[in-house]
Amino acid sequence: MKIVVLLKQTFDTEEKVVIENGVIKEDGAQFVINPYDEYAVEEAIRIKENGDAEVVVVSYGPARVEDALRKALAMGADRAVLIEADHPVTDEAGVAEVLAKAVEKEAPDLILAGNFSVDNGAGQVAPRVAEILGLNHVGAVTKVTLEGDDVVVERDAEGDLERIRTKLPLLLTAQQGLNDPRYPSLPGIMKAKKKPLDRLTLSDLGLGDISPRTTVTNRYNPPKKEAGEILQGDIATQVETLVKKLREEAKVI
Amino acid sequence: MQGRALILGERKDGKLRQVTLEATSAAKKVTSGEVVVLLLGDGSDASTKEMLGAYGADRLLTIEHEALRHYTSDAFMQALRAAVDHVQPEVIVFGHTAIGKDIAPRLAARLGAGLISDVVDIVEKDGVVHFVRPIYAGKAFEERTIEKAPMMFTIRPNNIAPLAESAGRNVQEETLALEIKDLRSMIEEVVKKATSGVDLSEAKIVVSGGRGTKGEEGFKLLYELAEVLGGAVGASRGACDAGYVDYALQIGQTGKVVTPDLYIACGISGAIQHLAGMSASKVIVAINKDPEAPIFQVADYGIVGDMFEVLPPLIEAFKKIKSA
Single-letter code of the amino acid located at B127: G
Looking at the fold, whether B21 and B160 belong to one and the same domain comes out as yes
Q: Is the pLDDT of residue B194 over 70?
A: no
Query: Percent of chain A at pLDDT above 70?
Result: 100
pLDDT of residue A158: 85
pLDDT of residue A136: 98
> Domain for residue B188, yes or no?
no
Determine, for residues A250 and B262 on separate chains, whether the beta-carbon distance falls below 8 Å: yes
Looking at the fold, whether A116 and A25 belong to one and the same domain comes out as yes
Interatomic CA distance for residues B265 and B278, integer angstroms: 10
Looking at the fold, whether B17 and B129 belong to one and the same domain comes out as yes
- Residue B169's CATH number: 3.40.50.620
> Domain for residue A77, yes or no?
yes
Q: Report residue A54: phi and psi, to 5°.
A: -105, 130
* Structural domain harbouring A248: 226-253
Looking at the fold, whether A137 and A171 belong to one and the same domain comes out as yes
pLDDT of residue B195: 59
Burial B124-147 (b: 16+ CB within 10 A, else e): eeeeebbbbbbbbbbbbbbbbbbe
pLDDT of residue A59: 98
Confidence class for position A209, pLDDT limits 50, 70, 90:
confident
The predicted model gives B102-128 an average pLDDT of 97
CA-based nearest distance A134→chain B, Å: 10
Contact in structure between A216 and B144 (CB atoms under 8 Å): yes
Residues of B in contact with A122 (CB under 8 A): 105, 115, 117-118, 133
Average pLDDT of the residues of chain A: 95
Determine, for residues B187 and A35 on separate chains, whether the beta-carbon distance falls below 8 Å: no
> Domain for residue B182, yes or no?
no
Q: Is the pLDDT of residue A55 over 70?
A: yes
> Domain for residue B191, yes or no?
no
Confidence class for position A169, pLDDT limits 50, 70, 90:
very high
Bridge partners, B140 (sequence order) = B135
pLDDT of residue B13: 85
* Structural domain harbouring B289: 200-323
pTM of the model: 0.95
- From first CA to last CA, the distance across chain B in angstroms is 49
pLDDT of residue A72: 98
Number of domains in chain B: 2
> Domain for residue A142, yes or no?
yes
Query: Percent of chain B at pLDDT above 70?
Result: 99
Which residues are CB-neighbours of A177 under 8 A, at least 6 positions away?
Answer: A142, A156, B246, B247, B248
Interatomic CA distance for residues A93 and B110, integer angstroms: 11
> What pLDDT, in 10s, does the model give residues B70-84?
999 999 999 999 999
- B220-226's contacts with Cβ under 8 Å and 24+ in sequence apart are B221/B266, B221/B307, B221/B308, B221/B311, B221/B312, B221/B315, B222/B266, B222/B311, B223/B195, B224/B311, B224/B315, B225/B264, B225/B311, B225/B314, B225/B315, B225/B318, B226/B196, B226/B198
Residues of A in contact with B269 (CB under 8 A): none
Looking at the fold, whether B211 and B171 belong to one and the same domain comes out as no
Q: Is the pLDDT of residue A220 over 80?
A: yes
Looking at the fold, whether A106 and A166 belong to one and the same domain comes out as yes
pLDDT of residue A29: 94
Looking at the fold, whether B318 and B207 belong to one and the same domain comes out as yes
Looking at the fold, whether A25 and A142 belong to one and the same domain comes out as yes
Q: Is the pLDDT of residue B158 over 90?
A: yes
Residues of A in contact with B102 (CB under 8 A): 123, 127, 139-140
Looking at the fold, whether B296 and B226 belong to one and the same domain comes out as yes
Per-residue HEC secondary structure of A60-89 comes to EECHHHHHHHHHHHHHCCCEEEEEECCCCC
- Residue B301's CATH number: 3.40.50.1220
Interatomic CA distance for residues A142 and A156, integer angstroms: 7
Number of domains in chain A: 2
Q: Where are the alpha helices (DSSP H) in B175-288?
A: 216-229, 237-241, 272-278
Query: Percent of chain A at pLDDT above 90?
Result: 90
Contact in structure between A183 and A153 (CB atoms under 8 Å): no
CB atoms within 10 A of CB A39: 27
Q: Give kind and range of the element (H or E) at residue A146.
A: strand A136-147
Out of B72, B146, B229, name the one closest to residue A213 (CB): B146
> Domain for residue A95, yes or no?
yes
CB atoms within 10 A of CB B195: 13
Contact in structure between B236 and B273 (CB atoms under 8 Å): no
pLDDT of residue B196: 60
Confidence class for position B197, pLDDT limits 50, 70, 90:
low
Looking at the fold, whether A140 and A251 belong to one and the same domain comes out as no
Check the annotation: does B271 bind a ligand.
yes
> What pLDDT, in 10s, does the model give residues B38-61?
999 998 889 999 999 999 999 999
Looking at the fold, whether A201 and A230 belong to one and the same domain comes out as no
Burial A187-219 (b: 16+ CB within 10 A, else e): eeeeebeebebeebebeebebeebebbbeeeeb
Looking at the fold, whether B162 and B74 belong to one and the same domain comes out as yes
CA-based nearest distance B161→chain A, Å: 16
Looking at the fold, whether B237 and B170 belong to one and the same domain comes out as no
Output the CA angle A58-A62-A66, nearest 5 degrees: 55
**Lowest mean pLDDT across A82-86, A148-152, A207-211:** A207-211
> Domain for residue B180, yes or no?
no
Beta pairing, strands B121-125 & B128-135: antiparallel
Q: Is the pLDDT of residue B179 over 80?
A: yes
Looking at the fold, whether A236 and A188 belong to one and the same domain comes out as no
Q: Residue A135: name the closest of A110, A164, A156 by CA.
A: A110
pLDDT of residue A210: 87
Q: Where are the alpha helices (DSSP H) in A65-201?
A: 66-75, 92-106, 125-133, 186-192
CA-based nearest distance A94→chain B, Å: 9
